Amino acid sequence: MATRAQHHVRHAEAPEDGVVIRVRGLENRFGEQVVHQDLDLDVKRGEILGVVGGSGTGKSVLMRSIIGLQQPAAGAIEVFGENTVGGEESADVRKRWGVLFQNGALFSTLSVAENVQVPIREYYPKIDDQLLDEIATYKIVASGLPPESSSKYPSELSGGMRKRAGLARALALDPELIFLDEPTAGLDPIGAAAFDNLIKTLRDLLGLTVFIITHDLDTLYAICDRVAVLADKKVVAVGTIEELVALDHPWIQEYFNGPRGRAAEDSAERAEEESKRALSPQEATKLTGSDEGA
Ligand SMILES: Nc1ncnc2c1ncn2[C@@H]1O[C@H](COP(=O)(O)OP(=O)(O)O)[C@@H](O)[C@H]1O
Ligand SMILES: [Mg+2]
């Protein structure tokens, strides 16, 4: 249970080491199945951290643990210096992150704009409707959707547009940290590259910290500052791709030095170039509000 007493520590993150997420000794199990054991991870302020690992290695469970949705069997987790284990964090700290879940998880009976407005209404119940509409439009445009998509329902959107709508909702409360669970899964390569570039642009503009789970080697090469590898129930390595490739771990070698890894390395630069159009500077200013009222 979150207690009022915790509120006084909400800004207690350690700025001196710039660690936004700190996971120590994490253990997760489902019945007999041990998913994580002795898992440690640090995510640094302002970085794009890629999280990779085979299917079922517990990437989504790790993310859900960090944001307090999955009660671990053991371990300590802090986000912005606050304990999130079992959802113990305060609403104030929860407001500082945004999440794009693996399936997009939009409310199907709500329009895109209404989806984006959900978290805003939750935290600012007295906000007036016009301001709410304006904020939603900024987020939608900043996420690379045309403004007229605001009134569309999730079923009327392509996969790529749904991801962008989910991103717009994740950005609704001006978070400092975003969690993205396989955001480019199911997108065509051009759409995926555009989404990657959008994430990088938003990070550069807003100074976001990004925790991104991905299967997409192109994403790792194009935008991730560091990559954490989940294997053997823990984070077996974390570093730049260059650092990881130098390691002797069989899964890491197979992953980065297999044929798909090489192809991704080759296409990384080209993909980045092609996706530069993801967000125009004019669109980007909408998010920071620097053009507001102009
Ligand atoms: N709520 C749950 N109940 C039981 N088992 C679960 C639950 N969530 C995840 N698991 C199991 O935990 C393991 C890791 O799942 P997950 O984190 O979704 O993997 P991935 O790395 O593919 O995201 C899988 O074996 C999955 O079946
Ligand atoms: Mg998953």
195 domain residue, yes or no: yes
**pLDDT greater than 60 at residue 132:** yes
pLDDT at site 257: 86
> Ligand 1, residues 51, 57, 61, 66: which to mutate, most atoms within 8 A of Cβ?
61
| Distance of CA 53 from the midpoint of ligand 1 (Å) | 13
Mean pLDDT, the chain, whole residue set = 87
Task: Count CB neighbours of 266 within 10 A.
Answer: 11
| Whether 182 contacts 119, CB under 8 Å | no
Q: Report the amino acid identity of residue 80.
A: F
**Structural domain tally of the chain?**
1
269 domain residue, yes or no: yes
- Distance of CA 22 to CAs 79, 175, 179, 203, 263, Å? 7, 18, 14, 20, 33
211 domain residue, yes or no: yes
Percent of the chain at pLDDT > 90 equals 73
| Distance of CA 197 from the midpoint of ligand 1 (Å) | 29
**pLDDT greater than 70 at residue 147:** yes
Task: Count CB neighbours of 113 within 10 A.
Answer: 21
15 domain residue, yes or no: no
Q: Choose among 130, 131, 157, 155: nearest CA to 143.
A: 157
214 domain residue, yes or no: yes
89 domain residue, yes or no: no
Pairing of strands 82-83, 74-79: antiparallel
| Whether 97 contacts 175, CB under 8 Å | yes
| Distance of CA 58 from the midpoint of ligand 1 (Å) | 6
249 domain residue, yes or no: no
Does the C-beta of 61 come closer than 6 Å to ligand 1?
yes
CATH number of the domain bearing residue 193 = 3.40.50.300
| Reduced 3-state DSSP string for 122-166 | HHCCCCCHHHHHHHHHHHHHHCCCCHHHHHCCHHHCCHHHHHHHH
Give the number of whichever ligand sits closest to the CA of residue 181.
2
- Give me the domain span that covers residue 106: 97-224+258-288
Give the number of whichever ligand sits closest to the CA of residue 230.
1
| Distance of CA 103 from the midpoint of ligand 2 (Å) | 9
CA 41/CA 39 separation, integer angstroms: 7
| Whether 289 contacts 138, CB under 8 Å | yes
Q: pTM of the prediction?
A: 0.85
253 domain residue, yes or no: no
| Whether 27 contacts 73, CB under 8 Å | yes
Does the C-beta of 60 come closer than 6 Å to ligand 1?
yes
- pLDDT by residue (tens digit) across 213-263? 998 899 999 999 999 999 999 999 999 999 999 999 999 999 988 877 777
Give the number of whichever ligand sits closest to the CA of residue 185.
2
**Which residues, in sequence order, are CB contacts of 279 under 8 Å at separation 6+?**
142, 144, 197, 198, 201, 202
pLDDT at site 4: 42
